Amino acid sequence: LAKTTQPISMDSYEGQEVNITCSHNNIATNDYITWYQQFPSQGPRFIIQGYKTKVTNEVASLFIPADRKSSTLSLPRVSLSDTAVYYCLVGGLATSGTYKYIFGTGTRLKVLA
Amino acid sequence: NAGVTQTPKFQVLKTGQSMTLQCAQDMNHNSMYWYRQDPGMGLRLIYYSASEGTTDKGEVPNGYNVSRLNKREFSLRLESAAPSQTSVYFCASSEVGGLYEQYFGPGTRLTVT
C-alpha cells in the first residue's frame, strides 16, 4: 500500500493561492490520487481526482509529475470558508483483486482574514 | 435525495456490549464503505462492499463485522465493544468500486467506556 505524507498544517490569507503537496513514493501503477476536504463534525467531501499530469475542475487543480511520487492540490484564491482539513488518498485495485485505500494524515489549512 | 444516512448519530456503550451501526444510501450506488476516524487522525477503512452481495476487509477490520443487506444498506456490527473502538464512524458510497468519488454520511460518534 502506498503511504502518503502531507504537511500537518498550513496558514494562508484570503485571496491567495494555496498549494498542498502530498508525497506517495510507493504509488502503484493502478493507483489513483484523490483529494478530500473535511470540515469539523462532517464527513469528507470529494474535491478532485487524477492519475497523471494535470486535472482541473471548478474548485481546484491537481498537478501530478511524471513519476507520480507526489501530487499537489492547488486552491485558487482561498476564502475563510476553505478552512478545513485536506486529505490525500492513494489507492486502487490491488493484485489480489480487491480495492485498497490509504488516507493521508491530512493537512489542516487555516485561512486568515 | 438524502444521500448517505447513518444511525445513530451518537452512542455510548459499555465494554463487551454489542451494537450495529446502520447506513443507507439513495443514490443507487454499487459500492459502500465503512471508515473510522480517531481524534486528530485521518480515516481508516474498516470494510467495504464493492457490489451487492460482496464484502471485503479494509485496513482495520478486527473487531467488526459487516452485512450488505441489499443495494441500499450496509451495516457495521461490533460484537463485543472495546474502549479502543471509541471513534467516529463514517459510511460512504460510490457509483462503482475503486477510487471513484465517494459520498460520505454525517458520521456516528461512538464512545466505549
The predicted pLDDT at position A37 comes to 96
The predicted pLDDT at position A10 comes to 97
What is the number of other CB atoms lying within 10 angstroms of the CB of residue A54?
A: 11
The predicted pLDDT at position B7 comes to 97
The predicted pLDDT at position A93 comes to 66
The predicted pLDDT at position A98 comes to 63
Cβ atoms of B77 and B89 closer than 8 Å: no
Closest residue by Cα to residue B92 from B84, B80, B100: B100
B56 with A98: Cβ contact below 8 A: yes
Cell 482539513, residue located: A85
The predicted pLDDT at position A96 comes to 62
From A32, A43, A45, residue closest to B99, measured CB to CB: A32
A46-100 residue pLDDT tens:
999 999 999 999 999 999 999 999 999 999 999 999 999 999 988 876 666 666 6
Task: With H, G, I as helix, E, B as strand and everything else as coil, classify residue A47.
Answer: strand
The predicted pLDDT at position A4 comes to 87
The predicted pLDDT at position B99 comes to 62
Interatomic CA distance for residues B93 and A63, integer angstroms: 26
Measured between beta carbons, which residues in chain A are less than 8 angstroms from residue B21?
A: none
A99 with B56: Cβ contact below 8 A: yes
The predicted pLDDT at position A1 comes to 61
Which of the residues in chain B have pLDDT under 70?
A: 97-99
The answer to whether the peptide bond before residue B8 is cis (omega within 30 degrees of 0) is yes
Hey, what's the cell of A72?
Answer: 499537489
The predicted pLDDT at position B92 comes to 94
Interatomic CA distance for residues A45 and B30, integer angstroms: 19
A43 with B107: Cβ contact below 8 A: yes
A20-48 residue pLDDT tens:
999 999 888 888 899 999 998 899 999 99
A93 with B98: Cβ contact below 8 A: yes
Distance from the first to the final alpha carbon of chain B: 36
From B48, B101, B106, residue closest to A42, measured CB to CB: B106
